Chains A and B, each alone.
Chain A
Amino acid sequence: MAGFDKRVASYSDALLGLESGMTVISGGFGLCGIPENLIAEVRRSGVSRLTVVSNNCGVDGFGLGVLLEDRQIKKMIASYVGENELFEKQLLSGELEVELTPQGTLAEKLRAGGAGIPAFYTATGYGTPVADGKESRVFGGRHYVLEESIKGDFALVKGWKADWYGNVIYRQTAQNFNPVAATAGRITVVEVEEIVEPGQLDPAQIHTPGIYVDRLIQGTFEKRIEKRTTRGN
């Protein structure tokens, strides 16, 4: 049964084989559902010249933002850079290469990458700078842009619960990009809040089947909130 047991003993084991120059996909939207301990481990490992694929790039001092501080990222593929000052600074100075990608196209690039589809046509971005240099084609009288899929050397994923076999369930909107990220890594590493014995999760409720998962580790999470907004009590 050990062949299906995806658990690893430590965060350094979880990222064994990660090297400079690799492509790393990260799940998460803003700071919600980010693999925060795996990102911290990437920082500790000291690898550099990474291509990072993630909807956002964290914030100054947390999430993927910490990899910018140490100049570990060479190229960022993201849809929104938003409120990250260091990101904007490195982008404007030319230190950081950025491929801004529409959010749905980014999700589909990962989905397609994980599903063995090398490219797909989408109407998104036609007639905009995003389509520059890309093939386009007309279907049913409408223009579509050919977008290539993405695969990563590593995919870093944050789940809620998983069993030893790497069957993963996400919690609330912390799901976001995590399931598609999980499919698109040559080595997919998942960190979760709780690991349970096989048989304890309902098979019909699994979001990411264990076939996509190579390594699994349980962590503790800060879960920082970017914009705490309430309606009072």
Chain B
Amino acid sequence: MALNREQMARRVAMELQDGYYVNLGIGIPTLVANYVPPGIDVMLQSENGLLGMGPFPTETEVDADMINAGKQTVTARKGASIFSSAESFAMIRGGHVDLTVLGAFEVDVEGNVASWMVPGKLIKGMGGAMDLVAGAENIIVVMTHSSKDGESKLLPRCTLPLTGAGCIRRVLTDLAYLEIKEGAFHLKERAPGVSVQEIVQKTAGRLIVPDVVPEIKFAN
């Protein structure tokens, strides 16, 4: 069975380490915050200028001046700080964020990523995504393995305008956990019940498959 959104978030959350400053993109990456393993403390960075994002507010706590990068009302946790957009992106571009998790339309074997534009169809803008992928060492892309039309999103070469070049090393899809190196995807784990054969069929870019591919195991 392919992983659902919550399971994908849970798998990514297993990569969190105590003391990490983490930026979570919009969509499935946001859900990662719900699965921080017990005993681990992470500080969430929101690029509009908040380090230490807390939970959504109660009805009475709602404050129009307190939002996250997805423009949702939020709170600040204990130990949070608030600053300007320039300061926020100094953190991001200066490589101070420990882990970045973001969604994408396509990823390729060279670590290129496309996530912000579909020519002629969708123009929403890149927001902070180009800064995040250029500034971070440690990035996980989270997306479905195939598009709604059944086309592979793991490609020999991205077809859409890029968000960043050569910057992605790890990808989690609903079918598999993969690493990108030496011009290929390397299959590391597969979703429970999903065959290696299915992953091979649905991966358009060069894929290296080891002899044994363990199933993804969830902590707890």
Residues of A within 8 A of B (CB): 29-33, 55, 78-82, 88, 91-92, 100, 102-108, 110-111, 122-130, 160, 171-180, 207, 223-233
Contact = CB atoms under 8 A, between A and B. Distances in A.
B88 interface: yes
Nearest to B56: A231
B83 A175 contact: yes
Contacts of B131: 102-105, 124
Interface residues on B, range: 35 or more
A122 B93 contact: yes
* Secondary structure class of chain B's binding surface, majority of residues: loop
B135 A124 contact: yes
Closest 7 CB pairs of A and B: A127-B165, A104-B89, A104-B131, A223-B64, A80-B125, A102-B130, A229-B72
B73 A228 contact: yes
Given A79-B125, A123-B134, A230-B73, A108 B55 contact: no
A78 B117 CA distance: 15
Contacts of B48: 29-30, 32, 173, 176
11 contacts: A29-B48, A29-B67, A102-B130, A104-B93, A128-B161, A175-B84, A180-B85, A207-B84, A225-B62, A229-B73, A230-B56
A79 B65 CA distance: 20
Given A32-B65, A103-B126, 12 more contacts: A104-B92, A108-B86, A108-B89, A108-B93, A127-B164, A173-B50, A175-B82, A176-B49, A177-B84, A180-B86, A230-B62, A233-B58
Which of B74, B76, B126, B164 has most chain A Cβ within 10 Å?
B126
B162 interface: yes
Nearest to B112: A127
B66 interface: yes
Contacts, number: 176
Contacts of A108: 86, 89, 93
Contact of B134 (A29, A33, A126, A230): A126
A179 B162 CA distance: 30
A78 B125 contact: yes
A33 B164 contact: no
Contacts of A102: 126-131
Nearest to B119: A129
B130 A128 contact: yes
A165 B164 CA distance: 44
B6 interface: no
B96 to A, nearest CB: 13
Contacts of B126: 79-80, 100, 102-103, 130
B214 interface: no
B165 A179 contact: no
Contacts of B58: 230-233
Interface in B48-71: 48-50, 55-68, 70-71
B130 A125 contact: yes
Contacts of B45: none
Which of A108, A123, A126, A171 has most chain B Cβ within 10 Å?
A123
A33 B127 contact: no
B62 A179 contact: no
Nearest to A123: B134
B163 interface: yes
Contact of B65 (A107, A174, A233): A174
B124 interface: yes
Interface string B162-177: 1111100000000000
